Amino acid sequence: MSTTLMRWRSLAWVLPALVLLLVFVYYPIVDNLRLSLFSWNAFSVAPTFVGLDNYRTAFHDPIFWTALWNNTVFAVVSLVFQVGFSLVLAALLEEFVHQRLRGILRTIYFIPAVISITVAGILFSFLYNPEIGLVNRLLGAVGLESWQHSWLGEPSTAMGSIIAMSQWQSIGYTAILFVVGIQRIPKEFHEAAKVDGAGPIRRFFSVTVPMVREMTTLIIILTVSGAFLVFNEVMVMTAGGPSDSSQVLGTWLYRNAFLNDDMGYASAIATVIFVITLAIGAVQIVVSRRRRIQW
Amino acid sequence: MKHTMRSASFAVLATATAVALAACGAPGTANPGAGGASSQSLSAPAEKSGTITMVTKFADPKYAPYFESVTKAYEQANPKVTIKLEQVGDQPYKDKIRVLSASKQLPDIYFSWAGDFANKFVRAGLAADLTSVIGPDTEWGKTFSPAALKAFETKGKNFGVPIDLDAKYLAYNKSAFTKAGISGAPASLEELIGDCDKLRTAGYTPIAFGNQYGWPAIHYITQLNAYNVPPDTLAKDYDPATGAFTDPGYTKAVDQFKDIVTHCSSKDANGVSHEAGQANFLNGKAAMHYLESVEFQALTAKGGAPKQLADNWDFMRLPAPQGAAGDAGALTGAPDGFMVNAQSKNAALAVDVLKFMTTQQNAAKLTADIGWLSPVQGSATSANSFPQLQSALADISKANQFAIWLDTVTNAEVANAYLSGIEGVISGSKTSKDVMTGVQEAAAKAKKQAG
């Protein structure tokens, strides 16, 4: 078979996926960029070209900055818990827990990840309820009445409460991914380190962390870009309130597109989200390629 | 990690929207007047045949069966007609109808709230002018309550068919009032505030209030605005092209709401859902609850309320403040309705379906099946409703005018400024002046957009 024919055959295999990607991913992205240059809504008879006006509006919109800040906080907290804490949790599970108990614990940690976000949101709305919620009751039981809040009802606590719920739901999932990564590390590495006198903490930093770097990179990309794409958690629990204190870029985009009828501005916000997540992904991929470990 | 998967629905929604909208060529271009309802007779077709598409926001299992059964009954009566009924939830409907509108896929019959929500479709040429068939002087129009018809009137023309009547009332537990030494419904807002203090002393939460998504507070503001601002000023300000919101009555309304929260409810209300608040009223912890007449059934034994409350409640309007400058006879509420797509090839058949849906018999069925009041006159009787529902219908007919829900009567920007501001008033982070500054800015933006 000629090389040319082989090439065409290969292309034929990837063509369906390529067409799907072009139609459902790349075309909407490019078209969204075009739409962000117009002032228009679902009822517009005549969309008007406004150039970069929608981006200027975003720049001067305090709620846009609140949303961006909330996404950033979401990303940082998610990194700490879903990457740092999850990796430690996975290492502890693999290092210190008995084989039989390990399976049970993995299942327990993983359960929140399979609960629908709507169910989890409603569940936590009850936990955070200022009158009958478990959180305030527990605080009251240990004499910390002054710490009680209307968790989803105060601008100072609403976003933190949503982020906390999200961490509860995601830690187990990322921990299981790290477990998979840790199990792939050849046992000889740990044994050699033990022979050299390395303790568990030293082995964690000198063997486990470097050897799961690729998994870590993948989880960082997914966690950070996920934090900038967050939508459901906020929509279910506060819809961006109170007083827009828990708006994130996704909900602010939604509010402008489908409630304020400002599709052009919503398209501009969508472009900002795309640029942020693209940049995060690109940086991560470049950094991880440089530091790849092969064995 | 999981975020990505959990955000999939958002991504899909955004992508689908972009694709759907992109399919329009130019974004969101409506095409009014290209054939369709605007250029065809709306009187009953000689031969009833064809397919009608219909989208409602009544996906709730409590309500959906009624619309399914009525459309099926129409199909049985007219075998050559197929009705493709699609029912979605309240919130998703707002997205769906906009996407359908922008992608020129609007169904023949679609749901609409009264006010600016309906007017968006009218302004875009997407709502058929139904004056010739449902105007107040027509045979069909005369079967409706005039106030309900008027809610879907724009510049003297009728664009909507009212399907239900809804009004906001303060339900109260008669036993709680007796225990607190209150002889009956307060005559003024000031009296209500005093009664709240008595109820608190008696160990009750005076008014159950959950404002997790912001709209319950907006209903208070709707009523208080109507009480405090002269009707002409209110009408001018609620119109996006002329809104200014500078009348001092608006600030007064927010201050009165703040008083209600302070004396009758709790600053924690933003963290409690409307339903959780209602539960406090149902289980006797709270003495009052501000709710819609479409929710009355939940307070009856049939609706699952405890007997102690079901046998012991009555309702009143939110009392007006003394000497208020607005209309003390205005009542917060509105009919919901259906509109006919101006581009529909089957507009006459669509009108016929809506006529069938609002016959005396089907209107009575609406009340009997799901406990809603129908705008069709004489549809609520002792045979198909409970006493409070009949009293509500009598009270609605006495109202000077409907104060249509603030979040649908006015421009969305203004509604959102109110929504956000009032949440701040409840939690104590904003003053009435802050709220009105935000509302005035939003009104100025809306005015600019309206040209």
Q: Which residues pair with B402 in a beta bridge?
A: B331
Q: Is position B134 within any domain? A: yes
Residue B375 has pLDDT above 80, yes or no: yes
**Contact (CB, 8 A) for B264 and B288:** yes
Report if residue B149 sits inside a domain.
Answer: yes
Is residue B307 helix, strand or coil? helix
What confidence score (pLDDT) does residue A291 get? 61
* Residue B309 pLDDT level (bands cut at 50, 70, 90): very high
**pLDDT at residue B1 tops 60:** no
Q: Is residue B316 part of a domain?
A: yes
pLDDT at residue B7, as a whole number: 43
Residues of chain A found within 8 Å of residue B15, distances taken between Cβ atoms: 24-25, 28
Q: Among B40-44, B130-134, B296-300, name the one with the lowest average pLDDT.
A: B40-44
Domain ranges, residue B58: 50-165+335-379
Task: With a cut of 90, say whether residue B78 has pLDDT above it.
Answer: yes
Which chain B residues contact residue A131 at CB under 8 A? 268, 272, 276, 280
Q: Which of B320, B344, B379 is the last residue of a domain?
A: B379
Q: How confident is the model at residue B398 (pLDDT cuts 50, 70, 90)?
A: confident
Residues B321 and B340 in one domain: no
| Inter-chain touch B7–A31, beta carbons under 8 Å | no
Closest-CA distance of chain A to residue B26, Å: 7
For residues A50 and A53, give the distance between their C-alpha atoms in angstroms, rounded to a whole number: 6
* Domain-located, residue B417: yes
**What pLDDT does residue B16 have?**
41
Whole-number percent of chain A with pLDDT over 90: 76
Average of per-residue pLDDT across B182-201 = 96
Q: Spell out which residues of chain B touch residue A125, defining contact as CB-CB under 8 Å.
A: 212, 273
Is residue B7, in this structure, part of any structural domain at all? no
Rounded Cα–Cα distance for residues B87 and B90 (Å): 10
Name B208's bridge partners. B289
Find the CB nearest B6 among A28, A117, A259: A117
Does B121 sit within 8 Å of A238, measured CB to CB?
A: no
pLDDT band at B293 (very low <50, low <70, confident <90, very high): very high
Residue A129 has pLDDT above 60, yes or no: yes
pTM of the predicted model, to two decimals?
A: 0.87
What b/e sequence results for A45-67 when a residue is b if at least 16 CB atoms lie within 10 Å of its CB, and e otherwise? eebeebeebbbebbeeeebbebb
Q: Name the band, by pLDDT with cuts 50, 70 and 90, for residue A260.
A: confident
In a domain, B283, yes or no: yes
Q: Tell me the pLDDT tens digit for each residue of B313-347.
A: 999 999 999 999 999 999 999 999 999 999 999 99
pLDDT digits 0-9 by tens, B18-47: 444 444 444 434 444 444 555 567 887 878
According to the model, what pLDDT value does residue B33 have?
A: 41
pLDDT digits over A10-48, tens only?
Answer: 999 999 999 999 999 999 999 999 999 999 988 876 789
What's the pLDDT at A279? 92
Residues of chain A positioned with their CB less than 8 A from the CB of B95: 254, 258
Size of interface A-B (CB pairs under 8 A): 195
**Contact: B214, A242; criterion CB under 8 Å:** yes
Domain count, chain B: 2
As a whole number of angstroms, the distance between CA A200 and CA A197 comes to 10
In this complex, which of A45, A242, A253 lies closest to B423 when CB atoms are compared? A242
Q: By CB neighbour count within 10 A (0-12 exposed, 13-18 middle, 19+ buried), where does B253 fall?
A: buried
User: B268 and B154 in one domain?
Assistant: no
With a CB cutoff of 8 Å and minimum separation 6, the contacts of B312 are: B173, B174, B175
* Chain B: closest CA distance from residue A53 (Å): 14
pLDDT for res B25: 41
Enumerate the residues of chain A whose CB falls inside 8 A of the CB of residue B429. 155, 242-243
* CA–CA gap between residue B351 and residue B219 (Å, rounded): 32
Which candidate from A25, A225, A258 shows the least CB-CB separation from B4?
Answer: A225
Q: Are B268 and B313 within one domain?
A: yes
Q: How far is A225 from chain B (nearest CA, A)?
A: 7
Based on the domain organization, do B244 and B308 belong to the same domain?
Answer: yes
Q: What is the DSSP string of B124-150?
A: TT-B---HHHHSTTSTTGGGB-HHHHH
Smallest CA–CA distance from B430 into chain A, residue: A243
Alpha-carbon gap: A269 to the closest alpha carbon of chain B (Å): 12
Question: Is the same domain home to B200 and B327?
Answer: yes
Q: Do A28 and B214 touch (CB under 8 A)?
A: no
pLDDT at B29: 41
Say whether both B198 and B132 belong to one domain: no
Residue of B2, B32, B102 with shortest CB distance to A42: B102
**What is the average per-residue pLDDT within A242-250?**
96
Do B216 and B296 share a domain, yes or no?
yes
CB A232 within 8 A of CB B9: yes
User: Measured between beta carbons, which residues in chain B are less than 8 angstroms from residue A166?
Assistant: 3
Please tell me the distance in Å from A6's CA to the nearest CA on chain B. Answer: 34
Answer yes or no: do A155 and B30 touch at CB < 8 A. no
Q: How many Å apart are CA B151 and CA B162, to the nearest integer?
A: 8
Measured in angstroms, the CA of B116 and the nearest CA of chain A are apart by 12
Q: Is residue B14 part of a domain?
A: no
Q: Which residue of A has its CA nearest to B122?
A: A43
User: B152 and B141 in one domain?
Assistant: yes
pLDDT at position B11 is 42
CATH number of the domain encompassing residue B140: 3.40.190.10
Residue B420 located in a structural domain: yes
Across the interface, of A45, A78, A243, the residue whose CB is closest to B29 is A45
| B1 with A219: Cβ contact below 8 A | yes
pLDDT digits (tens, 9 = 90+) for A151-199: 999 999 999 999 999 999 999 999 999 999 999 999 999 999 999 999 9
Higher pLDDT, B14 or B331: B331
CA distance A269 to A272: 5
**If pLDDT is split at 50, 70 and 90, which confidence band does A283 have?**
confident
Residue B82 burial class via C-beta count within 10 angstroms: exposed 0-12, middle 13-18, buried 19 and up: middle
**Domain identity same for B238 and B356:** no
Q: How confident is the model at residue A275 (pLDDT cuts 50, 70, 90)?
A: very high
B120/B250 same-domain check: no
Whether A78 and B3 lie within 8 Å, measured CB to CB = yes
Confidence grade of residue A294 (pLDDT, cut at 50, 70, 90): low
Nearest Cα of chain B lies from the Cα of A88 at a distance, in angstroms, of 16
pLDDT at B243: 95
Q: Could you tell me if B212 and B291 lie in one domain?
A: yes
Task: Give the minimum alpha-carbon distance from A188 to chain B in angstroms, rounded to a whole number.
Answer: 30
pLDDT given for residue B67 in this prediction: 98
Mean pLDDT score of chain B: 90
Which H or E run includes B195?
A: helix B189-201
Q: What percent of chain B has pLDDT over 70?
A: 91
Domain co-membership, B290 together with B435: yes
For residues B292-297, give the mean pLDDT: 94
Asked whether the predicted pLDDT for residue A230 surpasses 80, the reply is yes
Q: Is the bond leading into B32 cis (omega within 30 degrees of zero)?
A: no
CATH homologous superfamily of domain A52-290?
Answer: MetI-like (1.10.3720.10)
Q: Which residues of B touch A241 (CB under 8 A)?
A: 212-214, 270, 419-420, 423
- Contact residues, chain B, for A32 at CB < 8 Å: 18
Q: Where are the domains of chain A?
A: 52-290
B208-265 tens-digit pLDDT: 999 999 999 999 999 999 999 999 999 999 999 999 999 999 999 999 999 999 999 9
Out of A23, A42, A169, the one facing B98 most closely (by C-beta) is A42
Q: What does the pLDDT average to over B49-70?
A: 96
Q: Is B63 helix (H, G, I), strand (E, B) or coil?
A: coil
Q: For residue B273, list chain A residues with Cβ-Cβ distance below 8 A.
A: 125
Dihedral over Cα of A114, A118, A121, A126: its sign: negative
Contacts of A82 in chain B (CB under 8 A): 1
